[in-house]
Structure 1
Amino acid sequence: MKFVAITSCPTGIAHTYMAAEALEQAGKAAGHDVQVETQGSAGSAPFDPAVIAAADGVIYAADLEVRDKDRFAGLPFVDVGVKKAVADAPGVVAAAVAAVEAAPKGSPAPAAGPALATKVTANAHVGTRIRQWLMTGVSYMIPFVAAGGIMIALSFLIGGYTINKVTAADLIASFDPTTAHDWAGLLFVLGGSAFGFLVPVLAGFIAFGIADRPGLAPGFVGGTIAVAVGAGFLGGLVAGFLGGFVALGLARLKVPNAVRGVMPVVVIPLVATFITAGAMLVVLGHPLKWLMDELTAGLNSLSGGGIVLLGVILGVMMAADLGGPINKVAYTFATTGLATVATASGQPVELKVMAAVMAAGMTPPLGIALATFVRRNLFTEAERQNGKAAVLLGAFFITEGAIPFAAAAPLRIIPAAMIGSGLTGGLTMAFGNTLRAPHGGIVVFGLVGQPLLYLLAIVIGSVVTAAAVVVLKGLHRKAPEAQSTATAAQPATV
């Protein structure tokens, strides 16, 4: 059979492409042709219409709503999360075969125009839907984090920390393309501008996840007001949920047909934006600012065992689901904190939080890869090959490099990863490491405070992870071996 597949994950980075590779290989092993369109952060190359026309079925392995889904109308399909495709690609392909066999093939509809994407399950539990709304906001926020944070980090690397005194007006008045200082200043100003969108984008797309397009205006404007009043990340969350629910409530009102046509383009944006932004400015802004100030003061007051414990908790969260929602909560906490102090002098605790989160996120793939090298007999040939890839993924802070191993043995791999990452996070806090870049792994080591101690923390955490993996997988192997020995000792019967 011939299948077309779509893969996408909230961040559009590792899971998207790992699922694509897994589906292609599983299809080939089963004798089927699986072609994949990855709707990731790098964009996507849409299928040729002829490929869709020749397909027997569709595989959706996506945590975001598939763009241009109308192209596949009439085709039998299976719809699973992206992690399912990574963990059990043969099972997903088998389910797609069963779907094709159970339903007649239809004719695909013409392609629709491009659309924004979200994936919120209508009948899911409240907790699941809240997580999906949050992840929608985070998925659209991360490109701004990467672009803005790395530009700011590069500006400090080139021009030093005094580059934060450069303003856009300075560059407009006297930009000199022959000086490294002015290029560093340009990077700093552009990065700061990108960072300025973090909270509005987070709020806007949380609201979009709740109310679809009507939620965008109230979410974005409410998030902007949250920044203006100093309510920061918490204000963005509140603005996103408030704007989304106000817009959703207005969209569900029963109004005369004469008014219905102007509701989505005039009434809902106007009323929802006024209510959301007005509430953020005159009602919610002050208490949320006070709460953010107290949280910031509490973070900055941490020292000794308190800050080490924070590092351990963040490290454990980074490894708890290896790139899933818990991991993204820790990462978002770090990056939004970094956004508030990225242009500041000194070494505020937010820079230590970012350092702990990145180091802890690098540890799982590096530690598991080390285990595949030192105890090869505990791993399959495919896992040993994945171990080589995990070295690069871990080095560049892509925690998802550990997923193939966790999918095969979650109760042994994930606890081992949590132990190593928790230790790494605690050590970076104890060493006083700081980091001004939100991503990059080894690429941004030049921006790490006390880089040798930082590397030591990662090495120690990786070694502990590898040791824990070896012990846990070794214990698992004893039972089959013992059973095999006992079976061999039994007298043969005829």
Structure 2
Amino acid sequence: MSEMITADLVDLDLSADTKEAAARALAERMVSLGRVTDLEGFLADVAAREAQMPTGLDGGIGIPHCRSEHVTEPTLGFGRSAAGIDFGAPDGPADLIFLIAAPAGADDAHLTILSSLARQLMNAEFTSALRSVDDAAGAAALIRGDESPTAAPASPVSEDSAAVSGTASTDAAADSTAPVPGAVGNSSAPAPGATDGAPDGTSDAKGGGRPFRIVAVTSCPTGIAHTYMAAEALENAGRENADIEVVVEPQGSAGFNRLDPAVIAAADGVIFAHDVPVREKDRFAGKPTVDVGVKAGINRPAELIAEVRAKAEPGEVTAAAKGGGTPVERAGEPGEGYGTKLRKWLMTGVSYMVPFVAAGGLLIALGFAIGGYQINEAKSVTEHFDWGQVDSWGALLFQIGAAAFGFLVPVLAGYIAYGMADRPGLVPGFVGGAISITIGAGFLGGLVAGLIAGGVVLGIQRVNIPAPLRGVMPVVVIPLVSSIVVGFLMFVVIGKPIASAQDALTDWLNGLSGTNAILLGVLLGLMMCFDLGGPVNKVAYTFATAGISVAAPSDSAMKIMAAVMAAGMVPPLGMALATTIRKKLFTKAEQENGKAAWVLGASFISEGAIPFAAADPLRVIPASMAGGAVTGALTMAFGSTLRAPHGGIWVTFLIGKPFLYLLAIAVGTAVTAGLVIVLKGMRKTTPEGVAKAPEAPATSQTKEPVAA
């Protein structure tokens, strides 16, 4: 990082008391050096990133960062705060603040800075030296790696920060042989894949003959800081034991460098420290495995090493044989209840299904627009296609969209099973979903088929399989046996009752009218605006798209689709209108987001309101729900219909009673904008004070709703 930080970018007496002020102070130094061309524009980009997820890390560290078109070259600023600044870390305020600025599109530079810095921050000597260094040039040299950290008397800053500096072992700080920050490996350890003392590569779990070899994978949702901090922590813990060798594969957001297959083959155990699914997990099949969240890799690496070593004792059944560590379990928290896991399984299927809905639905909409509503009765384009005939092109688009729609239920079922049982669940899940369509069980059948497929695979995986047969289990035995079981249950046992329930639901929807229809519109509107693209939003959306995914959707199903899309457009449109009417109630970053929200809302992208909700959820979400409920009720009352599952105002030509439909959206938008203006106006903070803030004031505990 020799070109990324200089003494001019260091402030050892940072007086800011908020993260916004801290970012501004460090950004001003970047502006003065010509590395940032537009201060307010850059700060708006920093605020947008901060609104997505807090950038505070355990140990008194804050790492605000972003990519921005206002940055001319990768730059790192450093500030030290005596009082501490809240960046949203669970263990309290940060006294070491790093502002990372990368040019737009410079992913490699951005991630290189973050990953390298994250590794250094796991070295207690490094953070201690930063807390005690007394000149800016020395701090810059430490961060660049020009100087190695040495033990120094604790300054007042380091004493004040002692309570929050526990992410790295204090023993490491006292170890004069500790590696320099960012170093990987151990000069005293054998090279990865070596068979020191064991030419045949056999394992000695008790440490005789050669080191106990561990391979590990680390990953986090953003694929940046925690990913590399966990990697460094595990490597450091391995270096502290002469008979332990740890090789880590960090799976970051810019991809990952795969471990050598020979290294994996020679490993005695595996550690997965991750919050997102491990990519290409099958490479590690059959080995004793410890599967935890990424923070466990940071906070207790030595315990994880001891645990995987204990699992390698003779007679231990491996995690792969037991079927542990499904995608949902790997991405969740320890001790999650069955209800939480069930919701995540279902949402895994829905998240993979939504792109098929969007692509297929828009193609069908274009087919209707070009060829008219009778285009669904056209001959197959394989039998008749005239290059110069408009109707032929309409039929082509419609039939491509219908083909995409045909995957909805199989994809839903397949990825529900995947969420439960990983890749082995895909085959029986897809088979069960296809059978559901064949027998008329539809969307409900797909849900049940996915859950059954995942359960069957988990049951098979729990059978203790001899080691020589484990290699053929994922590709032969599990797909064969699970498909037979799922197919039998769907065709013979539960398929017909589910199909009957699907028919009953359709009849009920067709019979909705008057007050019942309006109440359903209110409920769907509330759900669409509750979490802005999250699980509740997706339940309502999936319910609506399932109704129109058939060849001839009913009038009631198209009314429900219209209500859902109209309500989903309201939150971003309401925020856009509010930022236009009362700018002083919103920060500059929010005002910029409001301009984009016009287009996002008009295109039915509810996530356009997320930056506002993340910054002020107690005002924005209730206001959005109120506007969505009004819009849903009015749309159902007006009797507007919609044949396309997506598109916003761009598919107005497919909407029944389009003027009343647009009126319902306008009324809901006005309700949301008016209510959020009233609620924000009631705050004790004056409008002028709010306007001066450069970024969205995201609270440290607020998490972004899950987007599609």
Match of 1:15 in 2: none
* 1:189 Cα deviation after fit: 1.3
Counterpart secondary structure, 1:178: coil
2:362 to 123, 129, 150: 150
The question of 1:440 aligning with 2:647 is answered yes
2:257 to 111, 116, 122: 111
2:515 to 283, 299, 305: 305
* C-alpha spacing 1:97/1:354, structure 2 compared with 1 (3 Å): same
1:55-454 to 2 correspondences below 5 Å: 55-57=116-118, 79=220, 111-112=257-258, 115=280, 118-120=327-329, 121=332, 123=334, 124-168=336-380, 171-340=381-550, 343-344=551-552, 348-454=555-661
* 1:127 Cα deviation after fit: 2.0
Counterpart secondary structure, 1:230: coil
Query: For the residues of structure 1 that align with 2:401 and 2:488, how far apart are their CA atoms?
Result: 29
Match of 1:65 in 2: none
Amino acid at match of 1:186: L
**For each residue in 1:113-132, what CA deviation from the matched residue of structure 2 results, as whole angstroms up to 9, or x when unmatched?**
97599554263222221121
* Equivalent pair of 1:223/1:236 in contact (CA under 8 Å): yes
Query: For the residues of structure 1 that align with 2:675 and 2:587, how far apart are their CA atoms?
Result: 18
Counterpart secondary structure, 1:476: coil
Amino acid at match of 2:116: A
Amino acid at match of 1:27: H
Counterpart secondary structure, 1:33: strand
Is the deviation greater in 107-116 or in 313-322?
Answer: 107-116
* Equivalent pair of 2:64/2:100 in contact (CA under 8 Å): no
Amino acid at match of 1:157: A
Query: For the residues of structure 2 that align with 1:292 and 1:36, how far apart are their CA atoms?
Result: 52
* Equivalent pair of 1:148/1:195 in contact (CA under 8 Å): yes
Match of 2:20 in 1: none
* Equivalent pair of 1:319/1:418 in contact (CA under 8 Å): yes
* 1:390 Cα deviation after fit: 1.2
* Equivalent pair of 2:361/2:401 in contact (CA under 8 Å): yes
Q: Which protein shows a greater Rg? A: 2
* Equivalent pair of 1:311/1:353 in contact (CA under 8 Å): yes
* C-alpha spacing 1:242/1:308, structure 2 compared with 1 (3 Å): same
Query: For the residues of structure 2 that align with 1:269 and 1:32, how far apart are their CA atoms?
Result: 49
Query: For the residues of structure 1 that align with 2:583 and 2:109, how far apart are their CA atoms?
Result: 42
User: How many residues end up aligned between the 2 structures?
Assistant: 431
* C-alpha spacing 1:408/1:167, structure 2 compared with 1 (3 Å): same
Counterpart secondary structure, 2:682: helix
**For each residue in 1:389-431, what CA deviation from the matched residue of structure 2 results, as whole angstroms up to 9, or x when unmatched?**
1111111111111111111211111111100000001111111
* 1:250 Cα deviation after fit: 0.2
2:100 to 20, 33, 43: 33
Is the deviation greater in 106-115 or in 350-359?
Answer: 106-115
Query: For the residues of structure 1 that align with 2:687 and 2:602, how far apart are their CA atoms?
Result: 35
* Equivalent pair of 1:76/1:104 in contact (CA under 8 Å): no
Is the deviation greater in 385-394 or in 123-132?
Answer: 123-132
Is the deviation greater in 379-388 or in 110-119?
Answer: 110-119
The RMSD of aligned alpha carbons is 3.6
Query: For the residues of structure 1 that align with 2:685 and 2:102, how far apart are their CA atoms?
Result: 41
* Equivalent pair of 2:102/2:109 in contact (CA under 8 Å): no
Counterpart secondary structure, 1:323: coil
Query: For the residues of structure 2 that align with 1:49 and 1:465, how far apart are their CA atoms?
Result: 37
**For each residue in 1:165-211, what CA deviation from the matched residue of structure 2 results, as whole angstroms up to 9, or x when unmatched?**
1242xx22221111110111111111111111100000000001101
Unaligned segments of structure 1, at least 5 residues: 3-17, 39-44, 59-72, 86-91, 482-494
* C-alpha spacing 1:20/1:234, structure 2 compared with 1 (3 Å): farther
**For each residue in 1:208-227, what CA deviation from the matched residue of structure 2 results, as whole angstroms up to 9, or x when unmatched?**
11011111111000011111
* 1:240 Cα deviation after fit: 0.2
* Equivalent pair of 1:57/1:100 in contact (CA under 8 Å): no
Identity %: 52
Counterpart secondary structure, 2:350: helix
Amino acid at match of 2:220: D
Counterpart secondary structure, 2:642: coil
**For each residue in 1:39-74, what CA deviation from the matched residue of structure 2 results, as whole angstroms up to 9, or x when unmatched?**
xxxxxx98599948973338xxxxxxxxxxxxxx99
* Equivalent pair of 1:206/1:241 in contact (CA under 8 Å): yes
* 1:480 Cα deviation after fit: 11
* C-alpha spacing 1:164/1:471, structure 2 compared with 1 (3 Å): same
Is the deviation greater in 293-302 or in 97-106?
Answer: 97-106
* 1:76 Cα deviation after fit: 11
**For each residue in 1:67-122, what CA deviation from the matched residue of structure 2 results, as whole angstroms up to 9, or x when unmatched?**
xxxxxx99997835x7xx9xxxxxx97x8998799787887566249759955426
* Equivalent pair of 1:365/1:391 in contact (CA under 8 Å): yes
Counterpart secondary structure, 2:549: helix
* Equivalent pair of 1:56/1:75 in contact (CA under 8 Å): no
Query: For the residues of structure 2 that align with 1:212 and 1:37, how far apart are their CA atoms?
Result: 35
Query: For the residues of structure 2 that align with 1:450 and 1:206, how far apart are their CA atoms?
Result: 37
TM-score between the two structures when normalised by the length of structure 1? 0.78
* C-alpha spacing 1:472/1:77, structure 2 compared with 1 (3 Å): farther
* C-alpha spacing 1:369/1:439, structure 2 compared with 1 (3 Å): same
* Equivalent pair of 1:221/1:273 in contact (CA under 8 Å): yes
* C-alpha spacing 1:36/1:441, structure 2 compared with 1 (3 Å): farther
* Equivalent pair of 1:56/1:76 in contact (CA under 8 Å): no
* 1:21 Cα deviation after fit: 9.0
* Equivalent pair of 2:51/2:614 in contact (CA under 8 Å): no
Amino acid at match of 2:369: L
Query: For the residues of structure 1 that align with 2:392 and 2:481, how far apart are their CA atoms?
Result: 44
Amino acid at match of 1:344: A
Counterpart secondary structure, 1:57: helix
Query: For the residues of structure 2 that align with 1:369 and 1:97, how far apart are their CA atoms?
Result: 38
2:679 to 472, 481, 486: 472
Query: For the residues of structure 2 that align with 1:180 and 1:155, how far apart are their CA atoms?
Result: 10
* 1:241 Cα deviation after fit: 0.4
Query: For the residues of structure 2 that align with 1:478 and 1:386, how far apart are their CA atoms?
Result: 21
**For each residue in 1:338-362, what CA deviation from the matched residue of structure 2 results, as whole angstroms up to 9, or x when unmatched?**
102xx327x5211111111111000
TM-score between the two structures when normalised by the length of structure 2? 0.56
* Equivalent pair of 1:315/1:422 in contact (CA under 8 Å): yes
Match of 1:455 in 2: 662
Amino acid at match of 2:396: L
